Structure formats: C-alpha cells, structure tokens
Amino acid sequence: MLTKRQNLLETIRGGKPDRFVKQYEPFALVFGDPLMALAGPQPERGGPPIVNGWGVTMHWPEHVPGSFPVHDDEHKVLKDITKWKEVVKAPPTEAPEEDWSMIKNMAAGVDRNEYFVTVFMAPGIFEQMHYLMGMDDTLINFYEEPEAMHELIEYITDYKIRYAEQLIKHVKPEALLHHDDWGSQISSFLSPEMFKEFLLPAYKKFYGYCKDNGIEIIIHHSDSYAANLVPFMIEMGVDIWQGCLTTNNTPELIKKYGEKITFMGEIDNGLVDKEDWSKEEIEKVVEKACRSCGTKYFIPSTTMGLPMSVYPGVYEAVNDAIDKMSKEMF
Amino acid sequence: MSKLQEVNAAVAAGKTKVIADLVQEALDAGHSAQEILDAMIEAMDVVGDKFSSGEIFVPEMLIAGKAMQKGVEVLKPHLAGDASSKLGKCIIGTVAGDLHDIGKNLVALMIESVGFDMVDLGVDVPKEKFIEAIKANPDVNVVALSALLTTTMPAMRDTVKAIRESGLTGFKIIVGGAPITQEFADEIGADAYARDAGAAAVKVKELVS
C-alpha cells in the first residue's frame, strides 16, 4: 500500500495510485505562524468587530458562519485607489524567533514520509484587494484606474512573497494551500483577458517564488467556476485546484488538462454540507464524482477550503464514501 | 450614428467619462428624456443578456451600470414627476444570517437599470424587516431575496413563509443565489427564480407585465 504522500504523487502524475486521495488526507496543515497573527487578528464569533493588520474592519456576527470585512463608508480602508500609497500599509513580515516555535513544533511532529507539511495562506491577492476597497470598487477600478491597480497588486504580491520567505525559512513546508476565490458558482469574476493582464503576472511571481524555494505542491483554493482560468492556473504553477465545483464540468477539464493540473472537488458543498445531510445522499454524490472523474488527476473532495465541514459529521461521511469508492474502483 | 445610438453604445461599453456629455448632447439635439432613458435601458438589457451568456463578466456589467447611473443623473431634472418612466418598485435584500452582497448588488443594479425603483435593505435582513419594508412601500411590485449559503436557505424559506402569512399582497417574490434552484424556489412558494443578475432583470420585467 502506498503512503498517503506517494498516493497523492501517483494521482497527480498520472501514475498508479492504489486508492483515491481522500480529500485533504496527504496534507498535514500546520498553523500558528506569527505573521498570520500580525495580519490578523480574526474576530471572535459573536464578538465585537476588530481591525486587522491591514486596517480592514472584520466582523463575525453570532448567527453567520464566518467573518466578513465591513465596507460601509466609515470602515472602508481604501476609498480612492489613486491614493493607495498613502492609505495601504502591509502588516510586518518579521517576528521574533521564539514566536515561530509553535508552528515549527507542529511541523517537526509531522511524518514527512507519510504527509506533506502544508502551510496555509489567506486571503489571496484578489481577495486582499476587495477586503481593502469592497468588491464593487475593486472590479470597477480594473477599468477606471488600471495603473493604480497594477501597483497595488504588486505591493500585495511582494508582501506575500516576504511572508512566504519567512514560512519557508522557519517551517520548510512542502506544500502551500492558498485561498483566492476567483469567481461565483457560474462564472469567473474577471474575464480571462483581464485576469491575464492583472492577476496572472502576480501569481507567476508569487507561486514561482514558492516553487523555486522548496514548495513542491501548490494547492490553490477557489470554490467557484474557473474553468476558463485553468490555462492560467497551469502557467502560474498550480498543481492542484481545490474547490472545483461541478459547474466547471470537471470530467472534461481532466481530459483536457489532467496531465498538467489536478482537480480537487466535484463534491459541491451545497449538495452535501447541509442541515439535513444523510450518509446515503453523500454516498450518491461521491459515487457520481468518482465515476465521472476517474482515478487520475482527480481528488474527490468537498469544495470547502479546509479539511472540515459546516455541519458536524459531513467531512467524515465524505471520507467514508470515498473509501467505499476506492474499494470498488481500484 | 445617431445621438441615441451613441448613448446606447456608451452605456453598453461602460464609458463612464463621456456618458454625461453624450446624454446632454442628445437632450440638446431634441430627444426627450424618456427616449434617452429607453436607449440606456435597452443597452442594459443587452448587457444583462451578454452576462447571462458568459460573453461579459462582472466588471463589464458594473461599469455599464455606473455609466447608466451617470447618464440618469443628467436626465433626472427632465424626468422628475414622470412616473411613466418606471416599471415599478422592487425591494431587495440578502436574507438573515447571510452577509454576502455581491450577487445582491448586481441584481439590484440590473433591476434598477431596466427601470425599477429599488429599495435595498442590505445584507443579513431579518424577515420582519422585509415585512416592514413592504408595509412602508405599498406600491412595491417585486420582493427579491438573495442567499449565498446552504446554511441560509432555511432563512429564505422562513422569509417567504412570513411574507405570505403576513397577508400582504400585490407583489411577487423572486429568489436567487448560488445554492438556490428552481425546485427550491417552487418548494418554498416563491413566484420566480433567476440564475443570475441578467436573468433576474428579465424575469422581474415579466413578473410585472
């Protein structure tokens, strides 16, 4: 039996995996780096809004599932993109050596023969932009102030590279799970042309740096439609696109691009991670995903950006259903 | 190209910096405010269709909407009191427990652009607030509910139920959002469902026709 690590590599290289990769199974996520704290802190559920390291006010009301940036006139950080240099200040990317001990200890405890030590970074470059100025302004500014947008993207990208440099120095990760949602369920936010002009160069630089410095696997999370951006994902160095929704026609993408990128998802959260979930329904969804996508260049997974579910038990039930399909298809 | 065609093309292409001058030129050339508004609405109809078909993306729709708004600013003094220019009134909001506003804003933009007065209640809107807004706007034609999360689909169901049980009538309810389907819309008793912002504008016009 292959190790979890070997099985992943066989899957993404089109070799001979001996079972399905079970969601995030081969990735040992390590958390607690001090730069995340400096860029945070995150608000507590039901607690008061907090201002994070970028100056963005974040709020997590008790009755909603996650925190959100507050974008009313009073709280929006960047109201005029042409003044970004005066307003936007990236958080520090230096921290005392002792502050790295938690994540270093976590990484030291990982069996690297079995797992990839995986670091997590979020928000992504595009997300950081709309955290700062709101989604509407961000999207309109691509048209109205392209020069300032290019400058701001470069500034955010350079911050992320300084951040990654420290993670690599202290943790020596082998994989990066990076979040940047690039679309809705049915379309990408940007046209491919606009994406190519603004975000592709930034990501080539960021992911290129990561790969040049020892990160073997880049997992990009975007739980959205983004089939039209797959050629750019390949060009920027993404190994695994996590969050690939069924609206992307994943089987077709695997046929077309599978040798260059692996698709992780096809089990839409909306279908399985719900109040009235059932084992039987999850098994049906997982079977359909596995049978339609096959055993190579595909990782059956919910489209959630971390190994968890909103409703208790769903993540584990999906794992059990994948085990069942492994027995049938390998 | 006629002045009206120029206005239409400028809205469709999102020419926010020239639209005000073009609208003024069209007025100076003798076109009525209603004719110019219709030309802009027609442009937004096309923008909505192109968005629904995947030909254009969110920034193109937003920039066209912004151009339309700038054009309407110039027209406003000429349209004042002219109720015939409006198709109706729409109350919109994202249901309780859901803070997502992008889709809701796009739908509001498109519905406004095709000729509706909008009452935007924002995000995380409790069912009671929808009912208050309906009572405060007795001329409302359409109530639009958005939900982006599976976790807030029950809140959408509760909101539709509460509105129905309030006994208030004279309007239609349309629902949408990533996890919402036609089946779910039917199940919770909504009058209509739209898959995206372009489709929402088309559907809302149908609902009031």
pLDDT of residue A45: 87
Count Cβ atoms below 10 Å from residue A190 Cβ, excluding itself.
Answer: 23
pLDDT of residue B82: 53
End-to-end alpha carbon distance in chain B: 32
pLDDT of residue B113: 86
Residue numbers in A near B101 (CB within 8 A): 135
**Facing A139 at nearest CB: one of B59, B149, B195:** B59
- Torsion of the alpha carbons at A208, A210, A213 and A217, rounded to the nearest 10: -100
Residue numbers in B near A187 (CB within 8 A): 54, 57-58, 196
Chain-chain contact of A135 with B102 (C-beta, under 8 angstroms) = yes
Residue of A nearest to B179 (CA): A270
Residue A74 half-sphere exposure toward CB, CA atoms < 13 A: 1
Chain-chain contact of B59 with A140 (C-beta, under 8 angstroms) = yes
What is the rounded average pLDDT for all residues in chain B? 91
Check whether B84 has a pLDDT greater than 70.
no
**Facing A63 at nearest CB: one of B58, B97, B153:** B97
Domain edges within chain A: 4-32+71-329
Question: For A133-150, b where at least 16 C-beta lie within 10 A, e where not — what string?
Answer: bbbbbbbbbbbbbeebbe
Using pLDDT thresholds of 50, 70 and 90, give the confidence band for residue B80: low
Using pLDDT thresholds of 50, 70 and 90, give the confidence band for residue B79: confident
pLDDT of residue A204: 98
Report the DSSP beta bridge partners of residue B145.
B93, B175
Check whether A217 has a pLDDT greater than 60.
yes
Residue numbers in A near B105 (CB within 8 A): 135-136
Block residue for tokens 């406004």: B112
Chain-chain contact of A65 with B149 (C-beta, under 8 angstroms) = yes
Q: How far is CA B197 from CA A204, B65, B91, B193, in A?
A: 32, 12, 15, 11
Q: How far apart are CA A242 and CA A303, in angstroms?
A: 7
Residue of B nearest to A68 (CA): B99
Using pLDDT thresholds of 50, 70 and 90, give the confidence band for residue B148: confident
pLDDT of residue A131: 96
What is the rounded average pLDDT for all residues in chain A? 96
Among A57, A245, A274, A285, the strongest candidate for a mutation testing the B interface, having the largest count of B CBs within 10 A, is A274
Structure tokens at A244: 């690939």
* Whether B160 contacts B149, CB under 8 Å: no
Q: Exposed (0-12), middle (13-18) or buried (19+): which is B175, by Cβ within 10 Å?
A: buried
* Whether A184 contacts A225, CB under 8 Å: yes
Chain-chain contact of B66 with A140 (C-beta, under 8 angstroms) = yes
* Whether B172 contacts B153, CB under 8 Å: no
pLDDT of residue B92: 97
Residue numbers in A near B16 (CB within 8 A): 144
Give the tens place of pLDDT for each residue, B11-35. Answer: 999 999 999 999 999 999 999 988 9
- Relative orientation angle of helices B153-165 and B127-136, to the nearest 10 degrees: 40
pLDDT of residue B81: 56
Residue numbers in B near A303 (CB within 8 A): none
pLDDT of residue A252: 98
Question: Any CB–CB contact under 8 A between A46 and chain B?
Answer: no
Chain-chain contact of A187 with B56 (C-beta, under 8 angstroms) = no
Class for domain A4-32+71-329, per CATH? alpha beta
The architecture of the domain spanning B86-208 is 3-Layer(aba) Sandwich (3.40)
Question: Any CB–CB contact under 8 A between A199 and chain B?
Answer: no
**What does pTM read for this prediction?**
0.89
Please spell the DSSP secondary structure of B80-116, one letter per residue: TT-GGG--EEEEEEEBTT----HHHHHHHHHHHHTTE
**Pairing state of beta strands A175-179 and A217-221?**
parallel
| B 118-177: CB under 8 A from A | 124, 149-151, 153-154
| A 272-291: CB under 8 A from B | 273-275
pLDDT of residue A328: 97
| Whole-complex ipTM | 0.89
What is the CATH topology of the domain spanning B3-83?
1.10.1240
DSSP B150: G
Check whether A261 has a pLDDT greater than 90.
yes
Q: If residue A306 lies in a helix (H) or strand (E), which one and from where to where?
A: none
Give the tens place of pLDDT for each residue, A172-204. Answer: 999 999 999 999 888 999 999 999 999 999 999
Give the tens place of pLDDT for each residue, A103-127. Answer: 999 999 999 999 999 999 999 999 9
